[in-house]
């Protein structure tokens, strides 16, 4: 709830700025909204190729959305996703706070016990189209706070179990999290125009045509 409020408030502030300085304001693009099955059908299928991948080709964490707050992307995501907001001390040191890691349903009370997971891992994004991007676009992807599902605070253990696997090989251990996870995975792929391989697509179809058929996917294509 706090996560959505913080990001919605930030987006609203940005939207109001041109209204104050110009008589004509550009409306923010409306998100695409569709069923999971239809969203899966929009994902293009190609073979994956990890040739040339290194994690260093995705610059993160950068200065975040607010260059003046002294916090990097990791810290900003932690603050926005907190169930109980931490105290932000000098140098953006976070103390206190409570988070819920939705992958495994664990409550966490130490920011240091959390990883910020890229919903679609960096290596997977490279395989799926990011290898052709500019360095600037890869940096934008690795620090994407323009969507509430691109980056997520989860336990270090669950993130490392996931590693760079797609839904054909890993799903959150909490059954209650799986439909949300599939929907957010597909939303991220569509937001960034990323592809899927055959095994990945088949796994997504199993969920979209079965237990997750009622899941709704919302995404806005990245600029």
Assess whether pLDDT exceeds 80 at residue 154.
yes
- Could you read off the pLDDT of 39-94 as tens digits, one per residue? 999 999 999 999 999 999 999 999 999 988 999 999 999 999 999 999 999 999 99
**CB of 54 closer than 8 Å to CB of 62:** no
**Packing angle of the helix pair 178-191, 198-208 (nearest 10 deg):** 130
CA distances from residue 42 to 51, 165, 189, 194 in whole angstroms, order as listed: 25, 21, 10, 10
DSSP state of 68: T
CA distances from residue 34 to 167, 207, 219 in whole angstroms, order as listed: 20, 15, 9
On whether the pTM is more than 0.85, the answer is yes
């Amino acid at each position: 709830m706090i996560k959505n409020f913080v990001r919605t408030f930030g987006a609203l502030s940005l939207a109001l700025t041109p209204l104050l300085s110009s008589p004509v304001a550009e409306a923010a693009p409306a998100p695409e909204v569709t069923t999971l099955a239809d969203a899966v059908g929009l994902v293009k299928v190609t073979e994956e190729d990890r040739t040339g991948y290194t994690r260093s080709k995705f610059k993160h964490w950068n200065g975040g959305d607010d260059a003046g707050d002294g916090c990097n992307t990791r810290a900003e995501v932690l603050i926005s996703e907190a169930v109980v907001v931490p105290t932000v001390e000098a140098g953006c040191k976070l103390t206190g706070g409570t988070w819920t890691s939705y992958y495994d349903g664990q409550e966490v009370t130490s920011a240091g016990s959390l990883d910020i997971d890229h919903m679609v891992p960096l290596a997977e994004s490279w395989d799926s189209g990011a290898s052709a991007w500019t360095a600037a676009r890869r940096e934008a992807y690795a620090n994407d706070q323009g969507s509430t599902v691109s980056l997520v605070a989860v336990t270090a253990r669950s993130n490392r179990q996931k590693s760079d696997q797609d839904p054909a090989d890993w799903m959150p251990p909490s059954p209650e999290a799986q439909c949300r996870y599939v929907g957010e995975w597909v939303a991220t792929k569509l937001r960034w125009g990323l592809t899927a391989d055959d095994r990945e697509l088949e796994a997504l179809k199993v969920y979209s045509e079965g237990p997750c058929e009622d899941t709704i996917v919302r995404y806005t294509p990245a600029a």
